[in-house]
Amino acid sequence: MTALIRMRLTGFVQTGRAAAPLLAALVVLSVLYGGGQAQAGEAYGVSAAVLFAVFAWQTKVLLDVEPDVQRRLGRVAVGGAGREISAGLVAAVLAGLPLVLIAMILPWVVGGVTTPRAGDPSLSTGIALGLWAHLLLLLPAVALGGLASRAVTVQAARGLTVLVAGVVFAIVFGLKSFPVPWLAPPVMTTARDTIGAAHLPALIVTTLWAVAWSAVSVLAYGRIRMHRA
What's the pLDDT score for residue 20? 94
What's the pLDDT score for residue 79? 61
Give the DSSP letter string of 85-146: HHHHHHHHHHHHHHHHHHHHHHHHHHT-BPPP-TTSPPHHHHHHHHHHHHHHHHHHHHHHHH
Give residue 81's pLDDT band: very low, low, confident or very high (50, 70, 90).
low
Q: What is the mean pLDDT of residues 179-196?
A: 87
Per residue in 210-220, pLDDT (tens digit) is 999 999 999 99
d(CA 221, CA 172): 23
Per residue in 106-154, pLDDT (tens digit) is 988 888 788 777 777 788 899 999 999 999 999 999 999 999 998 899 8
**Could you tell me the pTM of the whole model?**
0.92
What's the pLDDT score for residue 1? 78
What's the pLDDT score for residue 65? 83
d(CA 50, CA 64): 22
Q: What is the mean pLDDT of residues 17-34?
A: 91
